[in-house]
Amino acid sequence: MTPQLAELVAVDAGGTSTRAVVVRPPGRCLAYAVAGSGNPIAVGPETAAAAVVESVSGALHQADVPGTRIRLVVLAMAGASSTSVAPEIRRRLAGIGLDATLVFESDLLATYFSGTWRPDGYAVIAGTGAGAIRVEDGRQVAVADALGWLLGDEGSGFWIGRRVVRAVLADLDGRGRSTALTPLLLARLGVPAPSHAGDREPIRAVVRASYAAAPVRLADVAGLAFEVDGDGVADRILDDAAAALARTLTAVRSATVSGPVVLGGGIMGLGPQVAGRLAASCGTDEVLAAADGAVGVSVLAVRHVGTSVDAAVFDQLTSSLAAAR
């Protein structure tokens, strides 16, 4: 390490927000800045790249560290490999005087390392999408599901939200059981309740609203399943989601890797209905909650420059990042 190249930049580019931190190895977070969505699939490569660079610029400014001192930029981003976002980000980083090496990492691996410093273990993520990974020696060596809303993501926000809407439609047209989800969803969408038996206008309105947005936006109503208590239909949906995520975890299990299981993604934070059931089925006491993905990318950045991350470094990263927020 030359004296001039000292700090690292770690960026977690997510669908909702992009967070950048400046890290001084081994484990001190100097600054933390936030920008908009950095998911190139959701907002396009240009907007995603702009969000990344905005967050990096903000963090550098806050840390009062010039871009020329940055040794490495590590960026966790879903879908980076399938878009042309990398050259766009390099170009824009150069524009703010940052020419350091840029490394892309899996957003799933960043989630894992936001919950633990241990180099071997598992993560199950259920946000808008869903998947599981196995981590060995700090690398993601197996992945299951994470196939997107059309083909997979079982137990994800999209998957739950779609089941919610289908259950409501089945309730409304008499194919399915009555559920407390129905008034909740109609209220959320601003659709009047049926005015008489056989009134199909609410069905048509729910269908219209659902097809009017991008399919993945069905994830927005997943939370309704967590809001109704003791509803058999909602319970079944969340039970099935937990079971699906457990199957996904099973697919990456290895008899020789017995580390912790990190649970991450927005669905895990909505209540114990999915995370608790999943944790109970993990077959280990070491079930950890993921934290800010920026912690995980910071761990990856520090590991990239050869620093081994132990419990003490992890704790320092976590607490200094929390203080910088």
Residues that bind its own copies (CB under 8 A): 82, 143-145, 147-148, 150-152, 162, 165-166, 169, 173-175, 200, 203, 207-208, 210-211, 215, 218, 247-248, 250-251
121 or 131: CB nearest its own copies: 131
213 or 311: CB nearest its own copies: 213
CB of 213 to its own copies, least distance (A): 10
Query: Do strands 18-24 and 28-35 pair parallel, antiparallel, or not at all (unpaired)?
Result: antiparallel
Report H helices in the chain: 40-43, 45-63, 85-95, 107-115, 157-172, 181-189, 201-212, 224-227, 232-252, 272-280, 293-304, 311-324
34 or 189: CB nearest its own copies: 189
- For residue 309, give the DSSP letter: P
32 or 158: CB nearest its own copies: 158
161 or 293: CB nearest its own copies: 161
CB of 54 to its own copies, least distance (A): 28
60 or 165: CB nearest its own copies: 165
Instruction: Give the separation between CA 195 and CA 268, rounded to whole angstroms.
Output: 37
CA dihedral over 286, 289, 295, 301, signed as positive or negative:
positive
- For residues 161 and 153, the answer to whether their CB atoms sit within 8 Å is no
CB of 150 to its own copies, least distance (A): 6
Q: Is 174 left (phi over 0), alpha (psi -120 to 50) or beta?
A: left
- Count of helix runs (H) and strand runs (E) in the chain: 12, 10
How far is C-alpha 42 from the geometric centre of its chain's CA atoms? 13
CB of 9 to its own copies, least distance (A): 29
Instruction: Give the separation between CA 15 and CA 38, rounded to whole angstroms.
Output: 6
CB of 13 to its own copies, least distance (A): 20
CB of 133 to its own copies, least distance (A): 12
Residue 46 structure tokens = 């240009």
CB of 264 to its own copies, least distance (A): 20
Report H helices in 64-84: none
91 or 175: CB nearest its own copies: 175
